[in-house]
């Protein structure tokens, strides 16, 4: 879009989609830009598919975010929670300067989720925007599913994420370097575990020096293709609901 088109094409019903990725270590087998690749690919494919139906527009991907659980690993570039919240506030101000009043974060990095939920409320309060947070798939440590082979804890560089990257960018995946790294002991806990009712602070190297948490060894491009297509389908359905969303009776 060029500057003169902005006033003609964006309306109060327009949806702006901001993919949020990360630049962080992903173990010995996946690249630093994994979360950005996935978030951008799902967002772009979905907007291409349903954008004309729901008046959705794609914003450039935010590739630096809150990745301090991987700060121990050189090559991870991260913003503090305070800085990222300020960045999101500034971006919300820019959205509010357009006619569009709906902003959707498509978040590819689970470490951002809590802060993005905070940002959704802040931008609602400050600028009157209708704000939404979606994921290509809900992270397992936040209530999403993870294969039984990973005991529900394939949260970083595991089977599903590796499979999606084999589908999207096989040239960036070194599957032969991957190995199983699942915190088996946590699976015995009822409450304090990934996806349990009691969360806990953690760093990725708390679970070993490799930095990944999961089992990528059986990852395949075919599995990744199915997961990717499912993510695009689900996000498309979500955008239809976003386009109709209202707060209900007052």
pLDDT in tens, 198-233: 999 999 999 999 999 999 999 999 999 999 999 999
Range of the domain at 113: 12-236
- Taking only the tens place, the pLDDT of each residue in 170-190 is 999 999 999 999 999 998 999
pLDDT at 145 (0 to 100): 78
> Tokens in use for 82?
């305070």
> In degrees to the nearest 10, what's the CA dihedral of 208, 212, 217, 218?
140
CATH number at residue 209: 3.40.50.10310
Q: Give the residue from 123, 125, 20, 102 showing the smallest Cα distance to 56.
A: 102
- Per the domain annotation, does 1 fall within a domain? no
Residue 2 lies in a domain: no
**Closest-CA residue to 120 (of 167, 88, 166):** 88
Q: Is residue 3 part of a domain?
A: no
Q: Give the chain's domain count.
A: 1
Residue 141 lies in a domain: yes
- At 250 the pLDDT is 60
Q: Is 100 a domain residue?
A: yes
What percent of the chain lies above the pLDDT cut of 70?
99
Tokens linked to 159: 């089977």
Q: Is residue 5 part of a domain?
A: no
The answer to the question of residue 242 being in a domain is no
């Amino acid at each position: 879009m060029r500057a003169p088109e902005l006033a003609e094409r964006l309306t109060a019903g327009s949806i702006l989609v901001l993919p949020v990725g990360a630049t962080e270590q992903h173990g010995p087998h996946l690249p630093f830009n994994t979360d950005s690749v996935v978030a951008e690919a799902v967002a772009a494919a979905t907007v291409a598919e349903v954008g004309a139906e729901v008046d959705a527009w794609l914003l450039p991907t935010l590739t630096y975010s809150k990745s301090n659980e991987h700060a121990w690993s050189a090559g991870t570039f991260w913003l503090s929670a305070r800085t990222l919240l300020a960045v999101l506030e500034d971006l919300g101000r820019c959205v509010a300067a357009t006619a569009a009043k709906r902003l959707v974060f498509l978040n590819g990095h689970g470490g951002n989720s809590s802060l993005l939920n905070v940002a959704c409320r802040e931008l609602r309060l400050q600028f009157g925007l209708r704000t939404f947070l979606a994921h290509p798939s809900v992270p397992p440590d936040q209530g999403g599913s993870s294969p039984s082979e990973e005991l529900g804890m394939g949260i970083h560089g595991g089977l599903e994420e590796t499979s999606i990257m084999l589908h999207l960018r096989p040239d960036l995946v070194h599957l032969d370097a991957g190995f199983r790294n699942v915190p088996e002991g946590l699976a015995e806990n009822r409450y304090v575990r990934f996806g349990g009712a009691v969360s806990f602070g953690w760093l990725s190297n708390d679970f070993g020096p490799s930095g990944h948490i999961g089992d990528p060894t059986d990852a395949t491009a075919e599995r990744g293709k199915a997961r990717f297509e499912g993510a695009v389908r689900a996000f498309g359905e979500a955008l239809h609901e976003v386009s109709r969303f209202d707060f209900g009776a007052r």
